[in-house]
Structure formats: structure tokens, C-alpha cells
């Protein structure tokens, strides 16, 4: 494993525990740890639960920085809801986004990410926000106009809202996601 790991608070027993508790391999856990530790080696070596500002985490994990849902990922996966991540918060995120994570687990977490107003329902406004974020150019210009976003949001809501309540509950969302063969691949981050 190298001297970097041996001086730290991440022991082989802890790594083994993380392998049991996540959908990550030992190698993936060590890679994540090395990157996380590089942000503040002294503090992380002294306390594996040390929390680091999410903006600093994003600098070391560019796939988070450039994700159109990065603020939601922070909100959902920050265990203390404080805009900071611990190593375990980061493991939770990468575990959910791993290729080996079951689709139902991914769908449950995706529901939280897409529930922008955090009311335990995905409403038309949540869908519109997701579409807007996905349909922006790299220079942040909108690709779709408001009428197009409104139309797509209505179509998606009508297809997914099985109980005709005007919003989508978690079970409806999981049901709809289960029919999308590309979902598991699009909800994946490589370590």
C-alpha cells in the first residue's frame, strides 16, 4: 500500500470494513483516500473523520466540480449538511456511483439528488431544473428555451406520475428509472 497509507489513520482493518460496507474495492478506497488526504494530510492523518470544505474536495475530484448537480451532491451526501465532506461522506458518494451499486440503491439516491426543493416529491419544477442543468452548454448558455423545458417536464411528469398526484414519489421514480436501461451507466463516476 505504500508509506502514505501506513502513516495515516486508515488501517487495513478499516479498509476491510469499508470494503464490506460499500460497493467499492480496496484499490478504489485507497485511491479515494489518497486524493482526499492530499487536501490536508496532517488533519486527515490525525482524524479520519476530519471534514473538508466541499469546494476543496472538488478541486481534487474534478468529476464533482464539473458535474451539473455538484451542489446537490454536496447537499445529499454531506452527512452533517455543512458543505463539508468527511472521507466516509466521499466513500458513500463514490459507492452509490460505482458500477457495482445495485440499480435500486442508485435510484433511491438519485431521487434525493433530483428533489431540488427537498420535499420528498419530484415535482414539475424539480424536473425543469434537472433538464435546465443537463441542457446547458459548457459556457452555461441555455440550449433549450423555457417552452421546450416546460414541454419536456410535462411529458416526463405525465409518464412517471402513476398516481396522478402532480408529482412523483420515490417508488414511482424507482419504477420509472427501472425501465431506463441507460440509467445505471449515466449515474456512475469512475475513481
Query: By CB neighbour count within 10 A (0-12 exposed, 13-18 middle, 19+ buried), where does 110 fall?
Result: buried
* pTM recorded for the entire structure: 0.89
22 close to 29: Cβ distance less than 8 angstroms: yes
Helix, strand, or coil here: 176?
A: helix
Q: Is there a common fold for 3-96 and 103-186?
A: yes
Q: What is the pLDDT of residues 43-56, one digit of tens each?
A: 999 999 999 999 99
Q: What is the pLDDT of residues 62-85, one digit of tens each?
A: 999 999 999 999 999 999 999 999
Q: What is the pLDDT of residues 109-140, one digit of tens each?
A: 999 999 999 999 999 999 999 999 998 866 66
3-96 CATH: 1.10.238.10
Q: What residues does each domain of the chain span?
A: 3-96, 103-186
103-186 CATH: 1.10.238.10
DSSP count for the chain of H helices, then E strands: 13, 4
Nearest of 51, 103, 99 to residue 77 by alpha carbon: 51
Amino acid at each position: 500500500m505504500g508509506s502514505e497509507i501506513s502513516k495515516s489513520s486508515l488501517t487495513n482493518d478499516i479498509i476491510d470494513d469499508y470494503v464490506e460496507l460499500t460497493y467499492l474495492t480496496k484499490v478504489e478506497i485507497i485511491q479515494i483516500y489518497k486524493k482526499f488526504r492530499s487536501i490536508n494530510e496532517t488533519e486527515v492523518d490525525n482524524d479520519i473523520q476530519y471534514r473538508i470544505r466541499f469546494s476543496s474536495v472538488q478541486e481534487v475530484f474534478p468529476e464533482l466540480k464539473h458535474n451539473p448537480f455538484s451542489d446537490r451532491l454536496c447537499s445529499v451526501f454531506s452527512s452533517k449538511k455543512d458543505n463539508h465532506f468527511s472521507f466516509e461522506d466521499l466513500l458513500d458518494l463514490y459507492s452509490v456511483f460505482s458500477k457495482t451499486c445495485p440499480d435500486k440503491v442508485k435510484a433511491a439516491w438519485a431521487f434525493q439528488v433530483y428533489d431540488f426543493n427537498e420535499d420528498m416529491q419530484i415535482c414539475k419544477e424539480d424536473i425543469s431544473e434537472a433538464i435546465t442543468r443537463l441542457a446547458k452548454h459548457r459556457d452555461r448558455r441555455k440550449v433549450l428555451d423555457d417552452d421546450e423545458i416546460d414541454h419536456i417536464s410535462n411529458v416526463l411528469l405525465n409518464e412517471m406520475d402513476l398516481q396522478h398526484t402532480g408529482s412523483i414519489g420515490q417508488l414511482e421514480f424507482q419504477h420509472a428509472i427501472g425501465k431506463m436501461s441507460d440509467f445505471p451507466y449515466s449515474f456512475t463516476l469512475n475513481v
